Amino acid sequence: MLLENGILITVDDNGTVLPEGSILVRGDKILDLGPREEMHARYPDEPVVPLEGKIVIPGLVDCHVHLEQPLFRGCADNLPLLDWLQNCVWPCQAALELDDVVAAASVTIYEMLRSGTTTFVETLTGVGCAAAADAVAELILRSGIRGVLPRVVMGGPSRLPERLREHPELCLSEVLRLHARYHGAGDGRLSIGLGLRTPFRGADPEVIRRATSLAAAEDLVVSVHFMETTSEREAVKAETGLAPAAFAASVGLLRPKTFLVHGVHLDEGDFDLLASSGATVVHCPSANLKLASGIARVWEMLAAGVNVGLGCDGAPCNNTYDMLQEMKIAALAQRGRLGAADVLPAERVLRMATIDGARALGLADRIGSLEKGKKADLVVIDVQRSHLSPNVDPISSVVWCATGQDVDMVFVDGKEVVVKGEVVTLPAESQLARELAERSRSLLARAGVVPNRY
């Protein structure tokens, strides 16, 4: 099919924007793209999908997601991280049942696709309900989204409730089982990885070393919450005498396909080591601001050559999975932190949400930009709306004005998964929302969590 007459923001190395462009999709690939008139002349017999001046961007890559957390969206709005975990998140996770996780993951995936996310990275698959990993994998395959499921690995001293604890041997064997069954399924849309508990709060150094050794041998993604709070930085320093990046290197975390999530309390002394390692820092500005964890030094990391991706995190600490909004918040936070209006311009933050996320996954040759030969992961944004008019600068419109509600069409692997703002690969939004609401009420009662009463 020929997607015709759109504003193409390619995010290629030259930052090319085609104001009247067309994209030829054949199978799961972008076969060609270019100015409308040239493309129409080259491919006169292709079925045409008229875009009517809508903006087309690469599929967004959300580098940090918690699929089960819509069940407790809005339940702990005014707590710092550790209290938030102990009073809400952990009790709820410990009370999860299989159908709860499936209902929540369905809502999360619907919300992500609906708002233009075509690729995501979970972190702690199986937490609270080990059987959920298989069910979520099957859900990803049905939905059409591209996803990475790092199975949770833990071991060592922990404040976690008993039901959330597992022996590291069991965790590692589950990683291998899931990898053998699902890795590469869905024409490569589904990947299995490792999700580590925070150092010294659920995973001791030896467990991390074993996990990262397995990941290196199998070329797996590793995702770990890292330096989210000052207390975590102090714990690493007290236990090891090392700065955060040096500690990460000592346990095998500094390698390509490692996602160091948050990185709020990294400083300039860590950046050169991070940059040379190929690891990625995942910036989650909404979650960090809401939980009062701080603001990561993203502008300085980028200047030092660190690869930085973006993540929405979870529903209780964001509270949405809308990467279009997350880009705006990321830019605003850096400008406010540094008192400089030219920090993290729209073009740069869009790269973080697309090609930099793809690079983190080792997929920059396949997704993350609109280029010939890449996967047809595309997002079409309707700009014929009051808050997007006039569309003087398309990239500015996307980053500063658009939200997920402006997404009109989404393609993953060349297949249309969102049509006129509705996800067509999952049950109706109203049905998913009703089931989630019912399951949330039951879960909160079992967990003994009273929303926002502490």
pLDDT digits (tens, 9 = 90+) for 155-186: 876 778 888 888 999 999 999 999 999 999 99
């993540």: which residue's tokens?
A: 311
Quick check: is 433 in a domain? no
Amino acid making up residue 238: A
pLDDT for position 201: 76
Q: CA separation (Å) from 445 to 95, 247, 337, 441?
A: 10, 40, 40, 6
- Ordered DSSP codes for 100-152: HHHHHHHHHHHHHHHTTEEEEEES-BTTT-TTHHHHHHHHHHHHT-EEEEEEE
Taking the C-alpha atoms of residue 71 and residue 176, their distance in angstroms, rounded to an integer, is 28
**Domain closes at, from 336, 360, 384:** 360
Taking only the tens place, the pLDDT of each residue in 215-234 is 999 999 999 999 999 999 99
Shared-domain flag, residues 78 and 213: yes
Tell me the CATH number at 34. 2.30.40.10
**What's the angle, vertex CA 344, arms to CA 338 and CA 349, rounded to 5?**
145
Percent of the chain with pLDDT over 70: 99
Quick check: is 435 in a domain? no
Mean pLDDT for 411-421 is: 98
Quick check: is 436 in a domain? no
Taking the C-alpha atoms of residue 79 and residue 82, their distance in angstroms, rounded to an integer, is 8
| 146 — pLDDT class (breaks 50, 70, 90) | very high
Q: Sign of the CA dihedral 117, 122, 128, 132?
A: positive
Shared-domain flag, residues 37 and 175: no
Q: Cis before residue 390, ω within 30 degrees of 0?
A: yes
- Ordered DSSP codes for 65-77: E-TTGGGGTTS-T
More confident residue, 323 or 451: 323
Question: Would you state the structure tokens that stand for residue 395, as one six-digit string?
Answer: 């990239």
Mean pLDDT for 368-384 is: 97
SS3 338: helix
pTM for this prediction = 0.97
Taking the C-alpha atoms of residue 348 and residue 448, their distance in angstroms, rounded to an integer, is 44
Domain that holds residue 408: 2-58+374-423
For the chain, how many structural domains are there in total?
A: 2
pLDDT for position 224: 97
| DSSP assigned state of 427 | S
Shared-domain flag, residues 286 and 216: yes
Quick check: is 8 in a domain? yes
Mean pLDDT for 331-358 is: 98
Taking the C-alpha atoms of residue 245 and residue 223, their distance in angstroms, rounded to an integer, is 15
Q: Cis before residue 318, ω within 30 degrees of 0?
A: no
Taking the C-alpha atoms of residue 318 and residue 228, their distance in angstroms, rounded to an integer, is 15
Quick check: is 30 in a domain? yes
Quick check: is 453 in a domain? no
Shared-domain flag, residues 73 and 96: yes
**Pick from 126, 101, 27, 79: which is nearest to 413 by CA?**
27
**Pick from 165, 162, 194: which is nearest to 178 by CA?**
194
Percent of the chain with pLDDT over 90: 91
Q: How far apart are the first and last CA of the chain?
A: 55
Shared-domain flag, residues 154 and 250: yes
pLDDT for position 454: 59
Mean pLDDT for 83-87 is: 92
| 425 — pLDDT class (breaks 50, 70, 90) | very high
Shared-domain flag, residues 206 and 261: yes
Quick check: is 431 in a domain? no
Cα-to-chain-centroid distance, residue 348: 17
Shared-domain flag, residues 53 and 174: no
CB 349, CB 399: distance < 8 Å: yes
Tell me the CATH number at 199. 3.20.20.140
**Domain closes at, from 332, 360, 388:** 360
Taking the C-alpha atoms of residue 88 and residue 71, their distance in angstroms, rounded to an integer, is 11
pLDDT for position 53: 87
Plot region of 438 (φ>0 → left; ψ -120 to 50 → alpha; else → beta): alpha
Mean pLDDT for 275-303 is: 97
Taking the C-alpha atoms of residue 171 and residue 211, their distance in angstroms, rounded to an integer, is 9
pLDDT for position 385: 95
CB 375, CB 187: distance < 8 Å: no
Shared-domain flag, residues 35 and 67: no
Shared-domain flag, residues 120 and 254: yes
Q: CA separation (Å) from 64 to 81, 148, 336, 449?
A: 16, 10, 23, 25
Taking the C-alpha atoms of residue 265 and residue 21, their distance in angstroms, rounded to an integer, is 43
Quick check: is 438 in a domain? no
**Pick from 368, 89, 73: which is nearest to 225 by CA?**
89
* Residues 6+ away with beta carbon under 8 Å from 320: 111, 115, 312, 404
pLDDT for position 453: 66
Taking only the tens place, the pLDDT of each residue in 381-393 is 999 999 999 999 9
Shared-domain flag, residues 238 and 353: yes
Shared-domain flag, residues 208 and 348: yes
pLDDT for position 157: 66
Mean pLDDT for 356-377 is: 98
Shared-domain flag, residues 213 and 347: yes
